[in-house]
């Protein structure tokens, strides 16, 4: 599923990465504990999280995560967006809660890994 499709389904704001929306995401993973992301997330995933700090981008970079979706309308600060720009990673923000976000993407065919 393309990041563009994900953005449309979630009515998400594009905070960074307009030019990267044609990238594909193979899987989705949701967590607020970055240790869980490191242990269980798949490469080429979308990371869905409510945690809004720089560790999210650092963790996502290690796993070649193509997009981070902040839920519940959370907005990362300028530092986080600058890191995403440097790593060429799409950052979205949706008003949906994590459960709803995962459900919408699952319903449209995006699955978790493992």
Residue segments in the chain with a per-residue pLDDT below the cut of 50: none
Q: What is the pLDDT of residue 44?
A: 79
The per-residue pLDDT of the chain, averaged, comes to 95
For residues 72 and 82, give the distance between their C-alpha atoms in angstroms, rounded to a whole number: 21
Q: What is the pLDDT of residue 10?
A: 98
Structure tokens at 13: 């704001």
Beta strands in the chain (DSSP E): 13-16, 27-30, 45-49, 67-70, 90-93
Instruction: Give the count of beta carbons closer than 10 Å to the beta carbon of residue 88.
Output: 13
Would you tell me the crossing angle of helices 54-62 and 78-87 to the nearest 10 degrees?
Answer: 20
Enumerate domains of the chain plus CATH numbers.
3-107 (3.40.1390.20)
Predicted TM-score (pTM) of this structure: 0.95
The answer to whether the Cα torsion of 101, 90, 52, 48 is positive or negative is: positive
Q: What is the pLDDT of residue 78?
A: 95
Q: What is the pLDDT of residue 114?
A: 64
């Amino acid at each position: 599923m393309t990041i563009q499709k994900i953005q449309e389904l979630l009515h998400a704001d594009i905070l960074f990465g307009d030019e990267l929306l044609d990238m594909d995401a193979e899987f989705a993973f949701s967590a607020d504990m970055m240790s869980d992301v490191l242990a269980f997330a798949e490469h080429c995933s979308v990371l869905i999280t409510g945690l809004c700090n720089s560790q999210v981008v650092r963790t996502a970079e290690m796993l070649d995560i193509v997009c981070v979706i902040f839920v519940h309308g959370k907005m990362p600060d300028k530092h986080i967006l600058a890191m995403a720009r440097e790593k060429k990673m799409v950052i979205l923000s949706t008003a949906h809660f994590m459960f709803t976000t995962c459900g919408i993407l699952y319903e449209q065919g995006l699955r978790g890994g493992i």
